[in-house]
Structure 1
Amino acid sequence: MEDPSEIIQKLQLAGKHMTVQEDCYERMQVPAVEQVIRKILEDLSSDKLKRHKGSVVDDVRDLFLQADPLWLLDSRSQCDTSDIVQTYIDLTAALTQYSALPRCETDIGELPDSAYNTIPIRACSVAQTFQLLLSKLSARPEQATCHLTTISPDSVLNAILPHLVVFCATHCQEKPWTNAASRLAADELLAAAVQAARCKTVSELLCGAQEEGRGALGAVLHLMKPQMNKNTWKLNPATKHVFRWLLQRVRRPWLAEHLDAVLPPSLLFSDDYRTENKILGVRCLQHIIDNVPAAELLQYNRAQVVYHALYNHLYTPEASLIQTVLSCLLDLLPLLEKPHVTRGQQRANRYDKVFCLILTHMEVEDKIPLRRVYAKHLPVFTERLGILVVRHLKRLQRVILGYLEVYDGPEEAARLCVLQAFQSMIQQAWPRMSMRLEVLLKSLLKFIYDVATDQSPTPPRVREELLQDATRCLILLNRCCERKVTVLLEGVRQSCENATVLDCLQRVQQDV
């Protein structure tokens, strides 16, 4: 068989000087498209090829550039139509493999940046080749204009689309194996694929229009399935990022249909020993929780499995992971626990279990980043528990008062959040505040005085916010303790000379 370059010249001549019909290609002795692609596939798979495989890719690009769309869809050869479609699938897989990342044999699942030096150039070349093919498939020629028997362009497009989506998702993100040019090429190819599939957005491409049925996501996940088990997902550093990219673009109501395909990889990533993989897995789990109906998650104890996976992460000392896990738990727990009942509620639930563990860690934690993460979520858990927070009141009070005594840096993130938790504690457990009034009042007054006389580089806006929140706590205490705070503050006002403190006390006195 002739070299692809000679066939390209014949195709170019046929397109310029002859009517596009079957005898035209016979006179020019142009082989069927299936035969040409098979020859190219042999070159791409051969290790003994004298010329560089990049030149073979260039031949493919020139072939798609010069060939008539009718010839590309020609089924006049003796092979079955499904064989021709499979040939295009094989070619697409071979081209994506040419631009694929090198295999990672280590347990880390990452390679040095130098290992990716040739990937962006290859990706650009392959993306341009695919774009030319899509442009010819999008032409959708009519068979009536020629004597050629052609296959449907949609059958080819639908067959190669999963490979194109994975390719684009691999190279459109800002990663060590991409550069600005390769990301642009991938974005343009993705836009061309969306247009060729007659969709408006990537999400519609993946999910399908609600009235028209399914999109490409099922086929894409099926294509990726062999790469996403516990023995293979680290061999390709892009796999986890491609999976998350896909997941982020699928929301209600379409994600529920693919729950069995997306939940296991998410749990697998979250169970890794590396923190960045755990965070990625937990974020995938949170997206699933937010976009799959509760009934689907509760079926077969799926939600319970996710809960145990997240709860085990609470023992980690990594602030970034704790932040992600607590946020995910706050989305998951309402599915597992019914709203609390103030009467007859005896048994502790998962809210109590998580809250206990948070308080345990907060009491002994001395790392500022972790203290801030715990403090940020404390008000939400206190509010979610409602009146049942009285079960943990002693420890919660100890944690809140302890955190108020520790300077948290110029932005005072932890102390601001703890003051919010203080307010929530008073509002939810107000019947129990009278017996704790003395301790709480002393702590708040000491805190207000310390902030008012503070010489640290805390910005004035932060200091003012601290004072406002502390004053709000005093007002709430006063309301739930039958105005006892007002009486007790009279003696403080008479002996205090600090104008800032007196202003805070005045606001408490003026509250009606």
Structure 2
Amino acid sequence: MEREGSPRSPPREGSSPPGEGPASDLGQALSQILHRLTGPESRRGRARNAALQDLGALLEATECDRLFAGSDTPLGGAPGTLGEVTAALEKHAAPRKEEEGGGDGCSAVAEKAAAVGLLFTKLLRRVESAKESPGCLAGKRGLRHLAGPIYVFAITHSLQQPWTRPGSRDVAREVLTLLLRVTECGSVAGFLRGEHEGEKGRFPEIMGLLQPDLNKESWKNNPATKHVFSWTLQQVTRPWLNQHLERILPPSLLISDDYQIENKVLGVHCLHHIVLNVPAADLLQYNRAQVLYHALFNHLYTPEHHLIQAVLLCLLDLFPVLEKGLHWKGGAARPTTHCDEVLQLILTHMEPEHRILLRRTYARNLPAFVKRLGILTVRHLKRLERVILGYLEVYDGPEEEARLKILETLKLLMQYTWPRVSCRLVVLLKALLKLICDVARDSSLTPEPVKGALLEEATDCLLLLDRCSQGQVKGLLAKIPQSCEDSKVVECVRKVQLVSEGAPYSGT
């Protein structure tokens, strides 16, 4: 009887040593290793380690032409069984749900990954040798059973994750490099979509392997699956991605709909990639774009700045798709758009918001919404005015990102809605002058370049305000140089007066 843990024990009692018997013996040896990796005894560490050792010995002892012989048969022969063993090894090295957060369990996963990675390296080198031999067709055919699971393994363990360690990452990256070389692909993107015209690529195969772990009941059992899916998805771009839309959209929506912020952000990044790389016609078909919009819009109620940032960027790229069929024919008022709806909600959240990271996130994206709506921003003018005035009053830390973006928003707003600006002259002028005085007298840790940028942006706003009010700002500022003792404030006012009189100003 075979002794458990023997590194080179024969696969079955009475059978020939690995690599020396007939082809059927090779299949039997691989089948027994597969059983030991997937059967009840696979839970015992010694039995599992013995199976890995036996597989390593089998790969070393078997000639290349015999290892991949029979790959053209309906069941794939020994290479088909070897593919099943490869898939079992990938599952063996994958992290489990309880090992997502780190700790001793993750160290064990990294050790298993390093051991499996060495076996995959050995196997790929055998494929490489088979391809270099005169009858290399067997090696190429055998590779089709191996490439998918090996790719999933390599991506699972090469990314920076809690279950990886420097050693396991190095082994996984070596496996990926060798896989690309054996498959004659110059990059991961070429491996997935096909390097040459008419070549199918392996993206459908990889999605097929990930699909069982990407449904509602199972997608959290393996914490690596979502990362492998996301990373793989983002390697495939136009014009290859749209043909796989039915496979990639449901998992992306599923991940984005989770209660964990990390998963929400990951799912939104996947959706954003889809929006950028799938033609608008395909997104509009079957109401997909509306489904995307409602999924993203609901995330705007979650007060988490990373998520809000990802959602707003995705929505800004989705708006052209949603509004593709909208054409204003004149006569009646223009219909409100999805961009109007989102901006209204953003402004509602911005007014009372006191958390600095969320304030910066909202302010960072506000100029893009004003640009998107253009003159139609006038619909939101009152609320925008309240937000701008409120945000200009609050110090935003050394970077002053929020106030700089709000000044950029104000400039765009005056450019697009200038006929409505003159009636707000006094309110806006007071806010800008107060900001200039506060920055000029600021003795905090704000760097001088940041203060200079704030003063320059505020001066630009004063110039635009002067033009929108037919020169009234110049008259209202006339007495400030005689009464103000702050040189920075006086310098800003004089710039406005000089430019109003026709002198050039490089800041505008």
Partner Cα separation in structure 2 for residue 406 and residue 305 of structure 1: 38
Residues 117 and 177 in structure 1, CA contact (< 8 A), matched pair in contact too: yes
Partner Cα separation in structure 1 for residue 188 and residue 357 of structure 2: 37
Q: Which moved more, 1:454-463 or 1:181-190?
A: 454-463
Partner Cα separation in structure 2 for residue 103 and residue 448 of structure 1: 54
The aligned counterpart of 1:55 is 50
Q: Which moved more, 1:301-310 or 1:115-124?
A: 115-124
Residues 59 and 123 in structure 2, CA contact (< 8 A), matched pair in contact too: yes
Which of 296, 299, 315 is the matching residue for 1:310? 296
Partner Cα separation in structure 2 for residue 142 and residue 412 of structure 1: 61
**Partner SS for 1:230:** coil
TM-aligned CA deviation for residue 46 of structure 1: 4.2
Residues 70 and 76 in structure 2, CA contact (< 8 A), matched pair in contact too: no
Partner Cα separation in structure 2 for residue 163 and residue 452 of structure 1: 62
Tell me the amino acid that sits aligned with residue 5 of structure 1. Answer: R
**Which structure 2 residues correspond to residues 467-478 of structure 1 after superposition, within 5 A?**
467-478=455-466
- Give the direction of change, closer, same or farther, for the CA distance of 1:156–1:450 in structure 2 (3 Å limit): same
Tell me the amino acid that sits aligned with residue 276 of structure 2. Answer: D
Residues 4 and 40 in structure 1, CA contact (< 8 A), matched pair in contact too: no
The aligned counterpart of 1:433 is 421
Structure 1 residue 488 corresponds to structure 2 residue 462: no
- Per-residue CA distance 1:298-335 (angstroms, 9 max, x = gap): 11111110100111111111111111111111111121
Partner Cα separation in structure 2 for residue 257 and residue 156 of structure 1: 27
Partner Cα separation in structure 2 for residue 232 and residue 221 of structure 1: 15
TM-score (norm 2): 0.90
Tell me the amino acid that sits aligned with residue 414 of structure 1. Answer: A
The aligned counterpart of 2:505 is none
Structure 1 residue 283 corresponds to structure 2 residue 278: no
Tell me the amino acid that sits aligned with residue 186 of structure 2. Answer: K
The aligned counterpart of 2:367 is 379
Residues 253 and 267 in structure 2, CA contact (< 8 A), matched pair in contact too: yes
Tell me the amino acid that sits aligned with residue 38 of structure 2. Answer: S
Q: Which moved more, 1:43-52 or 1:463-472?
A: 43-52
- Per-residue CA distance 1:213-241 (angstroms, 9 max, x = gap): 21111011011111101111011111111
**Which structure 2 residues correspond to residues 388-467 of structure 1 after superposition, within 5 A?**
388-467=376-455
TM-aligned CA deviation for residue 496 of structure 1: 1.9
Structure 1 residue 94 corresponds to structure 2 residue 102: no
TM-aligned CA deviation for residue 266 of structure 1: 0.7
Which of 160, 175, 196 is the matching residue for 2:161? 175
The aligned counterpart of 1:132 is 122
Residues 340 and 386 in structure 1, CA contact (< 8 A), matched pair in contact too: no
Structure 1 residue 120 corresponds to structure 2 residue 110: yes
Tell me the amino acid that sits aligned with residue 41 of structure 1. Answer: L
- Per-residue CA distance 1:421-470 (angstroms, 9 max, x = gap): 01011111011111111211121112111211122221111111110000
Residues 252 and 291 in structure 1, CA contact (< 8 A), matched pair in contact too: yes
TM-aligned CA deviation for residue 143 of structure 1: 8.7
Which of 206, 213, 236 is the matching residue for 1:227? 213
The aligned counterpart of 2:506 is none
Partner Cα separation in structure 1 for residue 314 and residue 283 of structure 2: 14
**Which structure 2 residues correspond to residues 8-27 of structure 1 after superposition, within 5 A?**
25=20
Residues 215 and 251 in structure 2, CA contact (< 8 A), matched pair in contact too: yes
The aligned counterpart of 1:262 is 248
The aligned counterpart of 2:350 is 362
Q: Which moved more, 1:464-473 or 1:90-99?
A: 90-99
**Partner SS for 1:283:** helix
Partner Cα separation in structure 2 for residue 398 and residue 467 of structure 1: 21
Partner Cα separation in structure 2 for residue 4 and residue 151 of structure 1: 32
Partner Cα separation in structure 1 for residue 459 and residue 134 of structure 2: 83
- Give the direction of change, closer, same or farther, for the CA distance of 1:503–1:152 in structure 2 (3 Å limit): same
TM-aligned CA deviation for residue 7 of structure 1: 5.7
Structure 1 residue 45 corresponds to structure 2 residue 5: no
Structure 1 residue 252 corresponds to structure 2 residue 255: no
- Give the direction of change, closer, same or farther, for the CA distance of 1:368–1:7 in structure 2 (3 Å limit): same
The aligned counterpart of 1:35 is 28
Tell me the amino acid that sits aligned with residue 390 of structure 2. Answer: G
TM-aligned CA deviation for residue 283 of structure 1: 0.7
The aligned counterpart of 1:155 is 141
The aligned counterpart of 2:63 is 68
- Per-residue CA distance 1:257-316 (angstroms, 9 max, x = gap): 111111111111111111111011001111111111111111111111010011111111
The aligned counterpart of 2:496 is 508
TM-aligned CA deviation for residue 199 of structure 1: 1.1
Partner Cα separation in structure 2 for residue 252 and residue 274 of structure 1: 30
Residues 11 and 30 in structure 1, CA contact (< 8 A), matched pair in contact too: no
Residues 322 and 373 in structure 1, CA contact (< 8 A), matched pair in contact too: yes
Q: Which moved more, 1:500-509 or 1:476-485?
A: 476-485
Q: Which moved more, 1:156-165 or 1:306-315?
A: 156-165
Tell me the amino acid that sits aligned with residue 136 of structure 1. Answer: R
Which of 5, 8, 12 is the matching residue for 2:8? 5
Which of 305, 326, 339 is the matching residue for 1:351? 339
CA RMSD across the alignment: 2.7
Aligned pair count reads 490
Tell me the amino acid that sits aligned with residue 356 of structure 1. Answer: Q
Higher relative contact order (CA 8 A, sep 6+): 1
Residues 75 and 151 in structure 1, CA contact (< 8 A), matched pair in contact too: no
TM-aligned CA deviation for residue 55 of structure 1: 2.5
The aligned counterpart of 1:18 is none
Where structure 1 has 5 or more consecutive residues not aligned to the other structure, the ranges are 15-24
Structure 1 residue 241 corresponds to structure 2 residue 227: yes
Tell me the amino acid that sits aligned with residue 94 of structure 1. Answer: A
TM-aligned CA deviation for residue 341 of structure 1: 5.8
**Partner SS for 1:250:** coil
Residues 96 and 163 in structure 1, CA contact (< 8 A), matched pair in contact too: yes
Residues 36 and 47 in structure 2, CA contact (< 8 A), matched pair in contact too: no
Where structure 2 has 5 or more consecutive residues not aligned to the other structure, the ranges are 503-508
TM-aligned CA deviation for residue 174 of structure 1: 1.1
TM-aligned CA deviation for residue 124 of structure 1: 1.2
- Give the direction of change, closer, same or farther, for the CA distance of 1:460–1:141 in structure 2 (3 Å limit): closer
TM-score (norm 1): 0.89
Partner Cα separation in structure 1 for residue 88 and residue 367 of structure 2: 54
Residues 74 and 151 in structure 1, CA contact (< 8 A), matched pair in contact too: no
Partner Cα separation in structure 2 for residue 459 and residue 84 of structure 1: 68
